[in-house]
Homo-oligomer: A and B are copies of this chain.
Amino acid sequence: MNLSPLSQDFVLHFGEMGSRWGINRTVGQIYALLFVSAKPLNADEIADALQFSRSNVSMGLKELESWRLVRLQHLPNDRREYFSAPEDVWAIFRTLADERRKREIDPTLSMLRDALLATPANEEDKFAQKRMTEMHNLIEMVTLWFNDVHRLEPDTLKQLMKMGAKVTKLLEMKDKIKVVAGSKNR
């Protein structure tokens, strides 16, 4: 199978991007290929299209499965395993965010909490703890916000995102209401 120049560019680009995100190039390319493919692909087809060894594809798919980014299915009268990327790009985005949270954010928050429980040995430790508190609060705040958004149905999420700048305007509106309410209480 020969990739069209269009898909080729896309696949190569995502290979590069993957490596900037701690995902290896191969895995990025496999995912990109599945993403633009109209039909589910089996491991041999992937190996052929990307010119990787069969074993490399096997490892790459395993990695993608651990990220819950691919769907495994079987076609009638075919023993081989076929893989595809979920249709809904929002669902993909959420899965990715979710996995990264589990793998990176949660352990970081946990480490920070432990550090904040420790008794500071000196002034430097006290300062370090202050900084860690700031970081902890930032991460927790962003994460909580993300959780909220994350729980929404894809359609609602799309709607929220489409608002863009309007979210900010709602915030301004809320402030004005507050001010009015405040002046009432004087």
Contacts and interface: CB of A to CB of B under 8 A. Distances in A.
A108 B35 CA distance: 15
Interface residues of A, number: 63
Contacts of A179: none
Contacts of A10: 111-112, 115, 128, 132
Contact of A124 (B7, B13, B125, B160): B7
A127 interface: yes
Contacts of A13: 107-108, 111
Contacts of A38: 123-124, 127-128
A94 to B, nearest CB: 11
Contact of A36 (B37, B104, B118, B128): B128
Contacts of A108: 13, 17
Q: How many copies does the complex hold?
A: 2
A167 B141 contact: no
- Chain A interface helix/strand/loop/mixed: helix
B171 A20 contact: no
Contact of A125 (B7, B118, B170): B7
A108 B14 CA distance: 8
Which are the 4 A-B pairs with shortest beta-carbon distances?
Answer: A36-B128, A38-B127, A20-B22, A148-B165
Given A4-B124, A6-B129, A145-B164, 12 more contacts: A4-B121, A5-B121, A6-B120, A7-B128, A9-B114, A20-B103, A141-B162, A148-B164, A148-B165, A148-B168, A156-B171, A160-B171
19 contacts: A4-B121, A5-B118, A6-B129, A10-B112, A10-B115, A10-B128, A13-B108, A13-B111, A21-B22, A35-B131, A36-B128, A38-B128, A89-B137, A141-B164, A145-B164, A148-B164, A148-B168, A160-B168, A163-B174
